Amino acid sequence: MSAPFLGVFDSGVGGLTVVHALRKAVPHIPIWYVADQAHVPYGGRPLDEVRGFACGISEALLANATAECVGVVMACNISSAVALPAVQAKYPHVPVLGVVEPGAQAAAHHTRNGRIGVLATEGTVQSGAYRQALHRIAPDIEVYEVACPAFVPIVEAGTEGSEAAREAACLYLHPLEAHDVDTVILGCTHYPFLLPLLRRLSPQFVYIDPAEPTAEAVGQVLSSLGVQSAPRHRLFTTGDVGAFHAQLERLFPDLLLVSEVKSARWDGGLLVLD
């Protein structure tokens, strides 16, 4: 059996922000990343459908016959919200982590006025995952959630600097400014690519990217694994491999240098990693 690996997935390139943080937190572990671009974006889909995608990808990683998956990171907020408990229950002896709880913990730590905003997809807002997580931490925190349906298509298309991106960001930030929040959770892993724009428009906010605290949590869980030199990563997409390769060249050229890019496909409800 080949070397152990850490499985990570998202609907598109957004989860690569988590991969970037994980490469610093667990630099000795190969990462297999799945971008389910055949179904991107997840945010506007029915929650049961998203749960099916997330469970299917987790199953493909955890039940892989050629290598040992030592853990799964759902680098996708809506997947973390709707599928995490089911996968954790099915694989109780393997660490399965999401991004919602670490992001909520970080935001609760940073807020000074107890007012926290959440920019997220429609599905994550509908799930109430961040509101519930924050109220478990501190019941008196006020949470203001804003659905941002335009953000994921903007990032996937690489148009973060466009006028359409600026107009969308202004629209989504306005209600958070009106509610006088001091801390804003980026409740979708695509959104950190928009941080320069968000900070320029609303510099008064502390922006929380759940990628960093999630990577720290993974590092604590997997710190006992043996060290490997220069791990080789595998990056899969269920969409067009050429287009995915071009996105990697634009966003994470360093990751592309130490990775192989491969195709994945859905066969009914099963994901096949080629």
Q: Terminus-to-terminus CA distance in the chain, angstroms?
A: 17
Which among 69, 142, 73 has a CA at the least distance from the CA of 101? 73
Specify whether 170 is catalytic.
Answer: no
How far is 170 from 164, CA to CA, in rounded Å?
10
Q: Which residues contact 87 (CB under 8 A, 6 or more apart)?
A: 54, 55, 58, 62, 72, 74, 96
Instruction: Answer for the pair 193, 126: CB distance below 8 angstroms, yes or no.
Output: no
Q: Which of 55, 76, 148, 170 is catalytic?
A: 76
Is 12 strand, coil or helix?
A: coil
**CA 23-28-34 angle, 5° bins:** 50
Catalytic-role residue among 55, 69, 148, 188: 188
Active site residues: 76, 188
